[in-house]
Amino acid sequence: MSTATVVPLSEYLAASYRPDCEYLDGELLERNVGEWDHSRLQMLLSRYLSNREKQWGILVVPEQRVQVKATRYRVPDIAVLAGAAPRGPILEEPPFLCIEILSHDRMQEMQERIDDYLSFGVRCVWLIHPRTRRAFVYTSQQVMEVKDGILRTEGPDICVPLAELE
């Protein structure tokens, strides 16, 4: 479960947290850090994507701060950028894809996080349950459960067979 602490934005931006925290309108929120299944899937998925960075024209970063609004900073499990590296230490432009791996997250909190990404302009969000490998793809137009076991995006074309992440 997330816990919140009130801090000024300047303090959040100057601080380093382990693990990193999200900042939502003045509240510092601890993230649910992964247990084995979460951490393992995050590493496997990061490696799978990063091994294809040149082929797909992407950049892959785990646990990178993303400024989704003036006073809201999210930290997706994995962010995928299409194009150039960011100019600063925090992503201020929407990543192409944000990936969230469930831990002990409440669905209401996860949905709020996904809504923040999509409202910010992230084109695609993947939500994956690490134990069952059940996955959902969120875009501004739809939510779709992945039935064939393959996560996909277009422009850039990314294809990740979940079965290869074992």
CATH number for the domain including 113? 3.90.1570.10
- Give the torsion sign (CA, 158, 48, 105, 109): negative
pLDDT at 1: 44
Asked whether residue 112 carries a pLDDT value surpassing 90, the answer given is yes
CB atoms under 10 Å from CB of 64, counted, come to 21
pLDDT at 35: 86
What is the total count of domains within the chain? 1
Asked whether residue 138 carries a pLDDT value surpassing 50, the answer given is yes
12 in a structural domain: no
CB 60 within 8 A of CB 49: yes
Asked whether residue 123 carries a pLDDT value surpassing 60, the answer given is yes
Q: What percent of the chain has pLDDT over 70?
A: 97
7 in a structural domain: no
Asked whether residue 121 carries a pLDDT value surpassing 70, the answer given is yes
Domain of residue 141: give its range: 32-164
Q: What is the dihedral of CA 113, 117, 119, 120, to 10 degrees?
A: 130
9 in a structural domain: no
Please write the tens of the pLDDT for every residue from 17-61: 888 899 999 999 888 776 899 999 999 999 999 999 999 999 999
Mean pLDDT of the chain: 93
